Structure formats: C-alpha cells, structure tokens
Amino acid sequence: MNGRGIFISFEGIDGAGKSTHIEALAQAFRDRGRIVTCTREPGGTPLAEALRTLALEQAMDPLTEALLMFAARRDHLAQVIEPALARGEVLVCDRFTDATFAYQGGGRGFDVQVLEQLERWVQARADGAVRQPDLTLLFELAPEVAAERLAGARVPDRFESQPLDFFQRVARGYARRAEADPARFARIDASQPREAVWAAVRAAVAAKGFW
C-alpha cells in the first residue's frame, strides 16, 4: 500500500559508490509494496537529458553551467518529481541540488548566493516552501580513493576528468551543505565494505520512519 510521497537523494563525489546502492534501496521499498521511481540529475526527462549531455561534454563558463543545471532541474521537478510525490510514490534520485552547490559552488568556486537564489526560484513549491529531499544520503570518501576507484572504469566526462584538488573542493562543498542541514543528511562512510555501507543506508532510511 502506498503512503505519502518520499523523496530520497543520493549524493557524493564521483567514485564514492553510491550508484551501487540506489537500485538496492529501490528494490527494498518495492518489496514493502511501494511504487518507486528512480531518476537522476542532471537528467530524468528528455529535455533534462539533452541538457545533461551539453553540461558533460561542452566547455562553458560557470554561470552557463549553473543555469543549465537549474534549467534541467526545473523540467525534472515539473515532469517527474512533483507528480511522483503527488501520487504517493517513493522517488529515489541520483543527485539533486546539493550536487550543484558541491560541483559548481565548491568545485568551480561559483557564487553560492547566486545558487541559493536559483534554488529558491526553481524549487519553489505551491505552498511557498522550497522543494528538498526528505532524506539525503551523502556518500563520503577521500577524493584520492575515489580517483583510484574510477581509474580505468570508463572514459571520464568533463567533470570526472578534473584534477584531484577539484574533487577536494567538491567534497568540502558537500560537507558544508550537510553541516547546514543535518536533519536532512545522513553521512555515510563510503570507505567501508559494501555490506557495511548498505547497512548504513538501511539504518538511515529506518531512522526516518520510512519503513
């Protein structure tokens, strides 16, 4: 039986291992009778996927990059996220706005106040609040370890090919977001064995009363 809509996001630097657990969590909810929508950012709709391709492949300045991310997010919210939550589904998203603050704000050094204004505009709900996930699972891993995991795994995109210090700034950007909203974030030690990480994910979801 469906209950209220639940919005869970997975965050972390490239190579932190979050993708391994996204489908496992979705299946755990399905096993409990919930309808689950899995999606990602940037992406999740035809328009947002096209914008994702531009962002990952084309060189651009930081403001253009940030605007593309929020344009993709607006379409994603309108077409996928809000309708799924209104239907009472569980929505599991591979990255959301925290990634923009980490990558564009932290990694690129873009003006966080501009990102905050875009966040308020793009994620405004009908009740005047700003749409955020109910739970954000932040996979934390030393950037040098993440780089080792990614090495040779696939051809890197424009973000994955950035130098180590970029990912160190991204990690600090994520940490600032988590420190600013500790009730929403569950910080997962992604250096643990996979079974231990999965146990931490399940515990974080249970602590929120989602099952």
Q: How confident is the model at residue 158 (pLDDT cuts 50, 70, 90)?
A: low
Q: How far is CA 162 from the centre of its chain?
A: 19
Q: What is the CATH number of domain 6-208?
A: 3.40.50.300
Dig out the tokens for 21 from the structure.
């657990």
Are 199 and 189 in contact by the 8 Å Cβ rule? The answer is no
Q: How confident is the model at residue 155 (pLDDT cuts 50, 70, 90)?
A: low
pTM: 0.93
Give me the percent of the chain exceeding a pLDDT of 90. Answer: 82
Question: What pLDDT score was predicted for residue 156?
Answer: 62
Question: What pLDDT score was predicted for residue 19?
Answer: 87
Give the span between the Cα atoms of 172 and 103, in whole angstroms. Answer: 10
Dig out the tokens for 89 from the structure.
């589904």
Q: Residue 61, annotated ligand binder?
A: no
Summarised one tens digit per residue, pLDDT across range 44-57 is: 999 999 999 999 88
Q: Diameter of the chain by CA atoms?
A: 47
Q: Residue 191, annotated ligand binder?
A: no
Summarised one tens digit per residue, pLDDT across range 129-145 is: 999 999 999 999 998 89
Is pLDDT at 25 greater than 90 in this prediction? yes
Q: Residue 13, annotated ligand binder?
A: yes
Is pLDDT at 162 greater than 80 in this prediction? no
SS (H, E, C) the chain: CCCCCEEEEEEECCCCCCHHHHHHHHHHHHHCCCCEEEEECCCCCHHHHHHHHHHHHCCCCHHHHHHHHHHHHHHHHHHHHHHHHHCCCEEEEECCHHHHHHHHHHHCCCCHHHHHHHHHHHCECCCCCECCCCEEEEEECCHHHHHHHHCCCCCCCCCCCCCHHHHHHHHHHHHHHHHHCCCCEEEEECCCCHHHHHHHHHHHHHHCCCC
